[in-house]
Each structure stands twice: as C-alpha cells, then as structure tokens.
Amino acid sequence: MTLEPPPFYLSRRRFEELVAEAIEEIPERLWQVVDNLVVTVEEWPSRRHMERVKLSPGSTLLGLYEGVPLTKRSSHYTLISPDKITLFRGPILQYCPLDETAIRTQIRRTVLHEIAHHFGISDERLIELGAY
C-alpha cells in the first residue's frame, strides 16, 4: 500500500497575506482612482452570493464585487457603505493546483478582475480584452 502525500494546505492567514500582496502590486496610479472600496476574504460564497450573480448550484465563484461601479456613480453617491470585493478562499484553493504559486496567481487574477468591475468593466468586456 502506498501512502499519498497530504494535500497542500494554505492557512487562512497565509491566504490573506497573498491577497494583501496582490493588492500591493496594483499600481499607485490605479489606487488613486479607486474610491470607497474594501477587500475581504470569506471561506465560501453563500447562497445569496450565488443568486446575486445568477450562478447555478455546483458553479464556482472565486470572487465577487458588490457596489456601485465608478461609471454609475452620480453626485448623489454620498454617505454610502464601501463597495466590497470578496475573495472566496475555499473555491480558489479547490480551483488551483496544489501549490502556493498557482494560488498566488489566481488570487492576483481574481483581485484584478473584481477591481475591473469597480471601474465599470463587465465580464463581457473583460472577455473581449482577453482578461477572463
């Protein structure tokens, strides 16, 4: 009988460090335009998250932008709770090969994808740009 090596484990703390690294890699010029935005980590998307983006059960959601994109804001956008980007640790760890480099790459890709939504860029446009 052969014993298989244990699966790769990445702690929540290390995952959050990788998210912070991905955020730090974003150019300062871009961050100067970002407005009223927080980035969080959750283990798994809730049913509400899945319904919000109209994903069926069994689909994968790696990240989610919730808020009012910069392109849709008007002068009435005041005293509003921050927009929120959530990265989902469980799905990202399942989606990636079992090594930290692949996880780091996927986290960066997901952060950039969700920030694009903050700037009003749709999934369709991201596909056209080859960024999806």
* pLDDT in the model for residue 2: 52
Within a domain: residue 37?
Answer: yes
Instruction: Output 120-125 pairs: Cβ under 8 A, ≥24 positions apart.
Output: 120/69, 120/70, 120/71, 120/72
CA distance 78 to 69: 14
Within a domain: residue 3?
Answer: no
Per-residue pLDDT of the chain (132 residues; tens, 9 = 90+): 455 544 678 999 999 999 999 999 998 998 888 888 999 999 999 888 888 888 877 778 999 999 988 888 777 777 788 899 999 999 999 988 778 999 999 999 999 999 999 888 887 888 887 766
Within a domain: residue 91?
Answer: yes
Pick from 35, 39, 44: nearest CA to 16: 39
CATH number, position 122: 3.30.2010.20
CA distance 49 to 61: 9
* pLDDT in the model for residue 7: 62
* pLDDT in the model for residue 40: 97
Q: Residue 105 belongs to what domain range? A: 12-128
